Amino acid sequence: MSPSRRSLLVAGTAGLASLAGNVGDSNADMPAANLARISEEANAALMRGDVDTYRALVPRTQDFTLMSPFGGTPSHETGFTEKTWDGMRQFFRNGTLKQEVVETYAGTDMIVLAVIERAHVEVGGLPAQDWALRVTLVYRREGGEWRLAHRHADPLGHAITLEQSAALGRGA
């Protein structure tokens, strides 16, 4: 592992661990802001196909759920195998990502981030293109560490008509 990559992994892991002490501080937004920054770094790595950095920066709960932007049945942590992660290394390529925080909600042991992820990336063998995903991230504090409990993303960063929405709802 290169020194710069090692530094990123150490810094990211330290960043998540340090959040536990910040919850009781007078600045209640600090853990949410740190989680937003770490989430952006992690998802930018994922868009490059760097699954290892993503996994190091964003630990997930045992009951993690993923509602992907492609629809279908939600995925659960138990279904993520090394084969799944290897597939993700190939699925996302040469991407960049910028994240816009729309809103944050912070409690003692749970933080919700509503964000828009704007990526330019090759996905699933398609040529590089812009993607705008509306994303909800739910983090839960477990044993002094913030872990991702839920991610829901949809590709509706651009408005669609009622008719288009109805067609999607019907599966048409």
Tens-place pLDDT, residues 55-82? 999 999 999 999 999 999 999 999 999 9
Q: Where are the beta strands (DSSP E) in the chain?
A: 60-67, 75-76, 92-106, 110-123, 129-142, 145-154
Global pTM reads 0.82
User: How far is 48 from 40, CA to CA, in rounded Å?
Assistant: 13
Tens-place pLDDT, residues 135-150? 999 999 999 999 999 9
Q: Count CA atoms within 13 Å of residue 111 on its CB side.
A: 27
Tens-place pLDDT, residues 100-136? 999 999 999 999 999 999 999 999 999 999 999 999 9
Q: What pLDDT band is residue 29 in, cutting at 50, 70 and 90?
A: low
Residue with tokens 């994303």: 135
Ramachandran angles phi, psi of 117, nearest 5°: -100, 120
Joined tokens for residue 54: 């993503």
Q: How much is the average pLDDT of 28-40?
A: 88
By the 8 A CB rule, do 101 and 36 touch? yes
Mean pLDDT of the chain: 87
